């Protein structure tokens, strides 16, 4: 009876079960549901003090804090995030929305994000829009309903509704992958158009006069890369629309080979191939090798993204290095800074790119 007097309603059952057997009681606690109340009772403090000890340890005396921490550890207490979110009206969730989780490009970015978030209080939640603006909209809605602290989202091409949702959102937003002029909030990326244009320039400088471009997927960034190729060719006065071969299919190594086959059947005098990504480039290389076409002498090949395998290939393949992991890391850092009150000085970062010249386009010395 005495024990029951300080027991709240929902703890009744296990107190009944283990009234005079403390160890048993602890076991029950562990299996049933441990709340902040349980911790408070064990530590002889109020629930509020426990809450404080966990969120703002500095606002609690060292002694009580240590006592509470010990009890938390002993009981294995884990705060209920739902209750926390409901009471506080916010969460420690940072939503990350990417078009693809199977694409190396995005997985590298995610790696950077994960690395940077390690040790912080932020919890990453990943969404996969699968290149669909509608799916993206659904994801944004879902994420926002969770009152996230922040949202990291890919690109500039959200649907009108999505854009409206993001503009109205009360959380911080970092757009990644591209550069642009009107970020919702913060932004970090690079210019796909300029990168592709520079790559085309490189081909021209190496002496290739009839460069082609193959592209798959045709998402907004692919399109801008295509445009970069077009511009560079026009600037050099050698643009020929027949040398552009595209497909909406997702890119694969095999597809790279097929696109090259298609290309060469239409315009056999092509002397260089700018591939919209590295998978295509690898496939293009294999196809050329199968046909006995010399790389880089007869045809030069340039990829995009500079995946790790480009340097290992034989011949090694020229590619446009994009700083994906750094992009992930910095986006997370900007987010963290913004959420910690130290507003980042620059909120719209162009990370640039680098043409990694390798054997596959080095005709000069040959």
Partner DNA sequence: TTGTATGCGTTATCAA
Partner DNA sequence: TTGATAACGCATACAA
Site string for DNA, 312-331 (x = CB under 7 A): --------------------
Write down the residue that tokens 């562990």 correspond to: 30
First to last CA, the chain: 94
Instruction: Give the span between the Cα atoms of 207 and 200, in whole angstroms.
Output: 11
Site string for DNA, 56-75 (x = CB under 7 A): ---xxx-xxx----------
**What, of a copy of itself, DNA, none, does residue 132 touch, CB below 5 to 8 Å by kind?**
none
Residues 148-167 that bind a copy of itself (CB under 8 A): none
Shortest Å, Cβ 86 to a copy of itself: 4
Residue 141 touches a copy of itself, criterion: CB under 8 A: yes
Residue 133 touches a copy of itself, criterion: CB under 8 A: no
Question: What count of Cα atoms within 13 Å lies in the side-chain half-sphere of residue 197?
Answer: 15
The radius of gyration computed from the CA coordinates of the chain, to the nearest angstrom, equals 28
Candidate segments 184-192, 235-243, 251-259, 339-347, binder of a copy of itself by CB under 8 A: 251-259
H helices of 169-277, where?
192-205, 220-235, 253-266
Residue 48 touches DNA, criterion: CB under 7 A: yes
Residue 80 touches DNA, criterion: CB under 7 A: yes
Shortest Å, Cβ 1 to a copy of itself: 30
DSSP codes of every residue in 142-181: HHHHT--SEEEEE-S---HHHHHHHHH-SSEEEEEEE--S
Phi and psi, residue 270, nearest 5°: -55, 135
> Which of 17, 87, 134, 164 is the binder for DNA (CB under 7 A)?
87
DSSP codes of every residue in 288-345: HHHTT--TTTT-EEEEEE--THHHHSSS--EEEEE-HHHHHHHHHHHHHHHHTT---S
Residue 35 touches DNA, criterion: CB under 7 A: yes
- Closest to 101 (Cα-Cα) out of 147, 154, 151: 154
Task: Provide the β-strand partners of residue 128.
Answer: 98
Shortest Å, Cβ 289 to DNA: 59
- Of 77 and 208, the one with the shorter C-beta distance to DNA is 77
Binding site for DNA (CB under 7 A): 9-10, 33, 35-37, 44-49, 51-52, 54-55, 59-61, 63-65, 77, 79-80, 83-84, 86-89
For a copy of itself, the binding residues (CB under 8 A) are 31, 78-86, 91, 101-102, 104, 107-108, 110-111, 114, 123, 125-126, 128, 130, 141-142, 144-147, 168, 252-254, 256-257, 279, 282-283, 286-287, 289-290, 308-309, 311-314
């Amino acid at each position: 009876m005495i024990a029951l007097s300080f027991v709240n309603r929902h703890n009744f059952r296990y107190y009944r079960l283990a009234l005079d057997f403390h160890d048993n009681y602890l076991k029950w606690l562990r299996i049933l549901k441990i709340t902040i109340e349980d911790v408070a009772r064990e530590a002889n403090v109020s629930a509020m003090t426990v809450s404080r000890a966990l969120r703002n340890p500095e606002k609690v005396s060292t002694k009580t804090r240590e006592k509470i921490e010990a009890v938390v550890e002993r009981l294995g207490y884990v705060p209920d995030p739902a209750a926390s979110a409901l009471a506080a009206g916010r969460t420690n969730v940072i939503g990350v929305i990417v078009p693809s989780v199977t694409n190396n490009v995005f997985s590298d970015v995610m790696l950077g994000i994960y690395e940077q978030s390690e040790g912080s209080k932020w919890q990453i939640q990943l969404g996969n829009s699968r290149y669909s603006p509608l799916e993206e909209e659904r994801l944004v809605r879902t994420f926002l309903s969770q009152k996230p602290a922040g949202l990291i989202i890919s690109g500039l091409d959200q649907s009108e509704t999505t854009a409206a949702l993001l503009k109205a959102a009360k959380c911080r937003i970092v757009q990644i992958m591209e550069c642009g002029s009107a970020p919702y909030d913060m932004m970090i990326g690079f210019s796909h158009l300029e990168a592709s244009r520079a790559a085309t320039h490189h081909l021209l400088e190496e002496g290739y006069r009839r460069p082609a471009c193959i592209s798959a997927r045709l998402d907004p960034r692919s399109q801008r890369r295509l445009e970069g190729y077009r511009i560079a060719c026009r600037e050099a006065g050698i643009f020929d629309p027949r040398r552009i071969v595209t497909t909406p299919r997702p890119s694969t190594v095999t597809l790279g080979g097929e696109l090259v086959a298609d290309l060469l059947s239409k315009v056999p005098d092509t002397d260089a191939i700018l591939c919209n990504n590295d998978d295509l480039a690898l496939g293009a290389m294999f196809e050329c090798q199968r046909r006995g076409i010399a790389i880089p002498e007869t045809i030069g090949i340039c990829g995009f993204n500079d995946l790790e395998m480009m340097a290992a290939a034989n011949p090694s393949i020229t590619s446009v290095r994009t700083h994906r992991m750094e992009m992930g890391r910095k986006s997370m850092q900007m987010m963290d800074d913004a959420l910690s009150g130290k507003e980042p000085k620059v909120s719209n970062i162009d990370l640039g790119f680098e043409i990694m010249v390798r054997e596959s386009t080095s005709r000069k010395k040959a």
